[in-house]
Each structure stands twice: as C-alpha cells, then as structure tokens.
Amino acid sequence: MSAYDPSFETALPAQLDRSAAPADAVRAALQLPMSLRFQGARCALFVAAVLLSRDPEMRVSARDGLNRATEGYDALRDLLADWRNRQTLHPALHPLFEETDAHTTGSLGAIDAYRAVLEEVIAALDAGGDLEPAIFDRVMGTAYKVFHPAMVSLSGKMAETGNALRDHGQRTATEARLRALDARDRIDTIARTVRLISLNARVEAAHAGDAGRAFGVIAEEIKTLSEQTETVSAEMGESVDDIMSALNIL
C-alpha cells in the first residue's frame, strides 16, 4: 500500500476574519460544528489506518494525518471555547456566538472527552508501541456516542439561532428603512415648499425693481438650498437601499 500526503486544511476559515464579507463570515461560523465533526472523523480513520496497516510508509502517512487532524480539531475547539478573546473575529459573528454560548459550553465536555481518547492514542504511538484494538474501540465509542451527537446538536442550535438573528435583523432593517423613507418624503415636501416660496419671492422682487434686489438675492439662496435638499434626499434613498442589501447577510 503506497503512502500519501495528508494535505487537508487545518487552519481556521479565513472567512471568520473581520476583513471578510459579513455573509461569508456567518456562513463559515455556521459550518464550524460540522467542520469539527469532520476533523474528528478524520482522526478516527487515521487511528484505524495506523492500527490496521502493516505498510511502514502507510503508517507514517496515517500518523501524519492524525497529527494534522488533531491540529485542526484543536483550532476549532479553541475558537468555540475562547471566541470572546479573538480580536480578529468578524463583529457580525458576536451575536451568533453570544446567543449559542451556553450550548457551546455544554458541548465542550463532549469535544474534550473525544480529544482525551485521541491523546491516549498519540501517547501510545509516541511510546513506540503498537495500538491495542481496545483503544480503537474507545475512540469509536466516544466519537459516535458522545462527540458526534453533541456536534449535530450544536450545529442545529447555531443554524436555528442564525435564522432567528437574520429574521430579526431583516425586521429591524425594514423598520429603519421605512422611517428613513418617511423622513425623505418629508424632506421632499419641505424642498418643494421652499422652492415655491423662492419662485414667489423672485416674482415679487421683480415687481419691486431695484428696491426688491436684496429680496431677490435671498430668494435665489432659498432656491439653491432647496435644490441641494432634493439632491441629499435622493442620495439618502439610495443609501437606505444599500444598507438594506448589506443587512441581508444570509
């Protein structure tokens, strides 16, 4: 049996970083429990490969794979346990992690229990001995009776919370948009009124001749202000639409 290079990803997803798009960050966060489950499954498979293989190169590759899988496992576990202290974590994820923190904390026991069994395997391999079948039974038993159910539960909780936050955010954004549009309508009304006053003032200034020149200057300033108000009103409406698009992150 030939060896292979276990080159799967072990680092945290780049989409969790504060520089990523909010939508990408939330999607990556919702996948964390399943990503942890995948790394755990890899660990079990590599333990089996070490136990069953009689090919030295294959055993070396399996051991390398186990090292990489546990590295990825630990990275994900540490993020879930210590997300508050991650300065680079995207701000959009804070509400999601906050709402699921109690459930995540409850899942850490299962995560750590499985990691402890894997540590037994690593310690045995470091000691240079062969693995006993009983240790593989403990790996599989802990994985499928303790670890995997906890990850499925956490994944469901995070998905449920993500949907609830999205719905709340959309309602809040819609209400804000309605208020902003109402304000824009009122600004439009004011602008039209000011423009009408300006027009009347210029007519009166023309009838008054030189005596109404100053009044005409004021009327022109009012007209300019009215035009600027209308421009700002239009730009505000466009900005509101942009904000709505940005808030719809899921």
**How many CB atoms are closer than 10 A to CB 13?**
18
Give CA separation, 136 vs 63, 89, 97, 172, in Å.
Answer: 14, 36, 33, 51
List, for residues 160-201, the tens digit of each pLDDT value.
888 877 765 555 555 656 666 666 666 666 666 666 666 666
Residue 77 banded pLDDT, cuts 50, 70, 90: very high
Residue 218 banded pLDDT, cuts 50, 70, 90: low
Task: Give long-range contacts, CB 8 A cutoff, 24+ apart: 135-139.
Answer: 135/47, 136/47, 136/48, 136/51, 139/43, 139/44, 139/47
**Among candidates 138, 83, 71, which has minimal Cα distance to 108?**
83
- 85 with 38: CB under 8 angstroms? no
Residue 88 banded pLDDT, cuts 50, 70, 90: very high
What is the percent of the chain with per-residue pLDDT over 70, rounded to a whole number? Answer: 65
Rounded CA gap, 77 and 71, in Å? 10
Q: Which class in CATH covers the domain with range 14-170?
A: mainly alpha
Residue 15 banded pLDDT, cuts 50, 70, 90: very high
- The answer to whether residue 207 scores a pLDDT higher than 60 is yes
DSSP string, 86-149: -TTB-GGGHHHHHHTHHHHHHHHHHHHHHHHHHHHHHHHHHTTPPPPHHHHHHHHHHIIIIIHH
**Among candidates 25, 23, 89, which has minimal Cα distance to 249?**
23
Query: Average pLDDT, stretch 213-232?
Result: 61
- 249 with 22: CB under 8 angstroms? yes
Rounded CA gap, 135 and 19, in Å? 43
